[in-house]
Structure 1
Amino acid sequence: MKYDIVIIGGGPAGLSFARSLADSAFRVLVIEQSDAADLEAPEIDGRDIALTHLSKKILTEMGVLARIPEGEIAPIKQAKVINGNSSYCLEIDSKKEAVDALGYLVPNYLIRKALFEEVKTVGNVELLTATSVKGVQIETQQATVFLSNGESVEASLVVAADSRFSATRRKVGISASMQDFGRVAIVSRMTHEKPHDQIAYECFHYGRTLAVLPLNGNLSSTVVTVTADVASQIQALSDADFAAEVQARFNNRLGEMRLEGKRHAYPLVAVHANKFVKSRYALIGDAAVGMHPVTAHGFNLGLRGQDTLFREIKAAQLEGRDIGDLAVLEKYQEKHMRVTWPLYTGTNEIVSLYTNDSVPAKILRGLVLRLSNNFPPVKQMISKKLTELGGHEEGGLPFL
């Protein structure tokens, strides 16, 4: 079987890339180890994605957002960052930035579902489910992908979107930098007595981090980040005790809080591939860059990356060039690396600083927050990265 492009992984990055290729002259195959039923009706995983303006634009052009109920898309009007026990906070307001919202919260499982529904309608894309990849062989004129069913497929270009622990990335000899934070994020949804006014909070307490993100109505997505040993203790709490713990840590800002649905725990490991391409092979999504969630850039970087790769191979096709040629793929690598590396390293530094509870670090944490709040160029830079209002080519440092 011969294809122009084989995509390994039917998650958000892989499916969004497949959707970008709709109506192109490329013959595309998506290989996913999950069953079709799991893609068609993904389980609720507790994660709510904070879409930037660029991501919203891309998903709207794909037709994906139109498949998500309007009531499930919640605007973020303000963002506040709180350090320790201080009442002082860094504040970014959509009104001051002259936009309708800083970003938009959408459930991850609904994005996955909508992407699958879109890709199913694309005539030049085939989906091969319940199948894993056993290996990839790269040759001068083509790449061969070996499947768990004993068959193999050939392609001009193989694109891996098979998670931050990508097996094919290792098998083709691409190394990656990895940072295990030794922490676990416990995500859940909670109802509350008082309105949140569409304000997102990131509270860097001592020993833990609490994010409270506004959904529609008196409902918020909460993320409690703690060391792995403390996470097991928190998960052992009853629903009522867990809600009371979050309510107290949040200083009763929203009044009485109650757990809505299940709690989900995710170990935090960040990954950045040391290069994104080889001849006839490219990485996108978490296989290229898996971010710590504190700056909310993980999904957005994946969406941006696949869009960058699509633009480069489309341009090569129009010029009559080989889409799997290393010179073509290196253009994608150069552009995406320029965006991802500063974000990856900057985010990891922020996490290191704001989870360090030593006295010097506490002082520095407060100083950094005040500098960010009171020095306009810094605050404008933070706002631009938070919203991605700068457009597709905008790079720079992460949101603090």
Structure 2
Amino acid sequence: MLPPVNALPMPAALTLASDAEPTDVLIVGAGPAGLALSVALAREGLHCTVLEQSELAPIAQPAEDGRDIALTHRSRRILEQLGIWQHIPADEIAPLRRAHVRNGHSPLVLPFEAQDDGYEALGWLVPNHLIRAACYRVAMSEDRVHLRMQARVTSLSRDALGMTVRLEDGSPWRAPLLVAADSRFSTVRRMAGIGARMLDFGRTAIVCRMSHAQPHDGTAHECFLNGHTLAILPMAGQQSSAVWTVNSEGATRLMALDETAFADGVAQAFEHRLGAMTLAGPRHVYPLVAVYAQRFWAERFALIGDAAVGMHPVTAHGYNFGLYGVETLVRELAQARRLGRDLGDDRALSAYSREHERLTLPIYLGTNAIVKLFTTETLPARLAREAVLRVASHLPPLKKAITRQLTGRKQSALA
């Protein structure tokens, strides 16, 4: 139940306070999850208003932020159906043909091959800022999507007919359903009285684009090293995205290195598998905190994207989970409409929550356990992870199950 925070007088009709255009769903947050949701709802004939606290420029023309997103088959299908995939430059999309998991300097490698499991690719790697730009472009082409910038939500309230939010400028906005998509540290989630479990890994990810002498052959590498983790992800051309995860002290030291010394450090940590490496872009720093909301809905309220589940990047499920949530939520809302129910119908929102939790919770918990195992440097932990890789490499059914999680496809889709 939502607390009665700063209850507002409710107009008789569910319309925006600032104009006469009705809205069916209010979405807080114009990130790639919120904008994708607005497009999906518009395609169902619903009017959406997206409230975003930032200025327009970083939403309409997002800057390169170092993050590259591994999209699954299901995510690609969702983006294609929404018309977003078609607005991502084709020459920036890199197929992920195989993935290798390594434990320290052990010669043992756990491989995942797309071809072995009947796939064209395990997934596709796309720069995050290009996904955001494509989402914005498509959302703004929809007549039923309205974007309000510099709209900071300061309070919300609910009655039997809808939800109302009040912005920092004092204006009230109202709709039958409110959806929070305002990051893993969502303020609207907190206003709605929904808590979240947060796991601070005490580590920092340094991400950057690297050029290298040898071709990557579409292979991603996840290397669990002594005290740090290095991921090398194949990007378009002869470049890769490097994600170097270290403790805070290590991050400060690495960021203090000049470009040549840093690139040499990445190449050495990767044991020169791609030859000489050079920085091909700026370095970006991100503290690692995983978040899982205590629930994904309340009356006339839902969470999507990182506001619902914020993942550690090691399994690359973050934005994929956001898209899965969009697809599930819109499906349930469309079903409610067909049955003549209100958009804030508890049955639709609870069904979305159950399905999204069923899909995400095991992977969230499993990912955190894997990260703990592979970043603990005690002798038992080192022996245990070597045993895990050895067992997994000799169990084809287990490898296939992991591959299905990586691709986002069900086993039946292999045919």
Match 1:164 to one of 155, 160, 184: 184
1:1-400 alignment, distance < 5 Å: 1=16, 2-390=22-410
State how many pairs are aligned.
393
The share of aligned pairs that are identical, in percent, is 47
> In structure 2, how many angstroms separate the alpha carbons of the residues matched to 1:190 and 1:75?
17
> In structure 2, how many angstroms separate the alpha carbons of the residues matched to 1:392 and 1:21?
28
> In structure 1, how many angstroms separate the alpha carbons of the residues matched to 2:275 and 2:409?
34
Q: CA deviation at 1:218?
A: 1.2
Superimposed CA distance per residue, residues 107-135 of structure 1 (whole angstroms, 9 cap, x where no aligned partner): 00000000000000101111001211111
> In structure 1, how many angstroms separate the alpha carbons of the residues matched to 2:400 and 2:245?
27
The one-letter code of the counterpart of 1:360 is P
Q: CA deviation at 1:392?
A: 12
Contact 1:3–1:153 (8 Å) recurs in 2? no
The one-letter code of the counterpart of 2:178 is V
> In structure 2, how many angstroms separate the alpha carbons of the residues matched to 1:241 and 1:305?
42
The one-letter code of the counterpart of 1:232 is T
Q: CA deviation at 1:208?
A: 0.3
Q: CA deviation at 1:3?
A: 2.2
The one-letter code of the counterpart of 2:243 is V
Q: CA deviation at 1:323?
A: 1.4
Backbone CA RMSD of aligned residues: 1.2
> In structure 1, how many angstroms separate the alpha carbons of the residues matched to 2:28 and 2:305?
11
The one-letter code of the counterpart of 2:398 is V
Runs of 4+ in 1 over 4 A off after TM superposition: none
Contact 1:23–1:123 (8 Å) recurs in 2? no
Contact 2:195–2:293 (8 Å) recurs in 1? yes
Q: CA deviation at 1:150?
A: 1.1
The one-letter code of the counterpart of 1:267 is P
Q: What SS class does the counterpart of residue 230 from structure 2 fall into?
A: strand
Instruction: Report which stretch shifted further, 370-379 or 43-52.
Output: 370-379
Instruction: Report which stretch shifted further, 384-393 or 305-314.
Output: 384-393
The one-letter code of the counterpart of 1:126 is H
| Structure 2: runs of 5+ lacking an equivalent | 1-15, 17-21
Partner of 2:19: none
The one-letter code of the counterpart of 2:328 is T
> In structure 2, how many angstroms separate the alpha carbons of the residues matched to 1:222 and 1:159?
34
With over 3 angstroms needed to count, the CA separation of the structure-2 counterparts of 1:25 and 1:67, relative to structure 1, is: closer
The one-letter code of the counterpart of 2:90 is E
Q: CA deviation at 1:310?
A: 0.5
The one-letter code of the counterpart of 1:323 is L
Contact 2:42–2:48 (8 Å) recurs in 1? no
Q: CA deviation at 1:25?
A: 3.1
Q: CA deviation at 1:391?
A: 8.2
Contact 1:80–1:202 (8 Å) recurs in 2? yes
Superimposed CA distance per residue, residues 175-206 of structure 1 (whole angstroms, 9 cap, x where no aligned partner): 11110000000000000001111110000001
Q: CA deviation at 1:140?
A: 2.1
Q: What SS class does the counterpart of residue 282 from structure 2 fall into?
A: strand
> In structure 1, how many angstroms separate the alpha carbons of the residues matched to 2:261 and 2:95?
29
Query: Scaled by the length of structure 2, what TM-score is found?
Result: 0.93
Superimposed CA distance per residue, residues 10-40 of structure 1 (whole angstroms, 9 cap, x where no aligned partner): 0011001001012433221000112222211
Contact 2:203–2:245 (8 Å) recurs in 1? yes
Q: What SS class does the counterpart of residue 382 from structure 1 fall into?
A: helix
Superimposed CA distance per residue, residues 303-352 of structure 1 (whole angstroms, 9 cap, x where no aligned partner): 10011000000110111001102222000000000011101111000000
Superimposed CA distance per residue, residues 337-395 of structure 1 (whole angstroms, 9 cap, x where no aligned partner): 001110111100000000011000000000111111111221111111011111899xx
The one-letter code of the counterpart of 2:40 is S
> In structure 2, how many angstroms separate the alpha carbons of the residues matched to 1:352 and 1:365?
10
Q: CA deviation at 1:139?
A: 1.8
The one-letter code of the counterpart of 1:222 is A
Superimposed CA distance per residue, residues 208-239 of structure 1 (whole angstroms, 9 cap, x where no aligned partner): 00000001221000000001111111110100
Contact 2:336–2:345 (8 Å) recurs in 1? no
> In structure 1, how many angstroms separate the alpha carbons of the residues matched to 2:58 and 2:396?
47
